[in-house]
Structure 1
Amino acid sequence: MTGAGAPSGRRTLWLGVALLASLLAAQWVSGEDGTADLEQVKEEATPRKQAPTAEIRSSSENARENELLRLDRLERRKFSTQAGDIFRAQSWAPPPPPQSEAEKNQPPPPPPLQFKYLGKIIEGEETQVFLALAERNYIVKPGEKINSQYRLDEVNDHAIIVTYLPLNAKQMLATAPVGEIR
């Protein structure tokens, strides 16, 4: 029976030694003694007496302290009133040039044309243009409206002239010359 119990006893002994070593290592790494906490608790529990009067230091003590600290070598922090908002977004890009009065009073430009030119059919004197916008295809003749925002004004060999109706602004959609494959 002693043979069967011996390995179990050794294992327990080694586990105990490992536990003790890890506890000592943890205490050593923390750098504190267990008694320091008890002393602090005792000090906090006892009420502290306040000094009856504040001590006034003499000017010679202040001068000696200033010599030790060398306060004259310290610089004061300078705050700029021009610093403004220090958390605003900053960019390396140069600021945009100032706009003139004529530029400020101009109406906004129309949005860029999103139409894709698919082709055209000429039957006699009537020309029909095939345009695509996103998922929709349009077949329009000069003078017709597209989505009540655009009007097809003119069709020639090199371009299609369209008017953006809300701003009454003309825009040009370039078409490929005959013989060029897109």
Structure 2
Amino acid sequence: MLEGELVRLRALEPEESDRIHGWVHDPDVGRWMNHSYPRSLAQLRKRAEERPVNSYELVVLGIEAKADGQLIGIIDLRDAEPEVGNAELDIYIGEAEYRGGGGYGTEALRLMCRYGFNSMRLHMITLWVVAENERARHVYRKVGFTEDGRHREAFVAMDGKRHDMILMSMLKGELRS
């Protein structure tokens, strides 16, 4: 378990699928997320029960608010390659009252990046963000990510409109407190 002042990062439990199902279908949460075909609650529960244990290649953790013990989001490091020391990060805060200004996402990012650099011995963590998602880009820059490039019209929103994606990265030693 990784712990800060506001959040605790911990393994997800299969019974938390109900909460995650609600987030996945919340338009505010899903606005800038890649979408697959709609999944039922039963499908999400089955996927959670069959989820492989966390490993070097994929670490998926729940973001829990320390104040009330409520699961508020998910963060992961995936596609980790020990040969080169790189991994890709994904994060979202599902609970509306914890989005936009409380520092929960920022602290979760710092904890996960610190874990990646120190415990996993990563050299670089990358992420992709939709260019119009300025709030997320601001948080990523604040913790030390830099913009590396743009993938034009690579994201298709739920309304069918295309948006550019920004590739951001952070090297070991660039994490800001």
TM-score grouping bracket, smaller chain normalisation:
under 0.3
TM-score, normalised relative to structure 1: 0.21
Larger radius of gyration: 1
- Of Structure 1 and Structure 2, the greater strand share is in 2
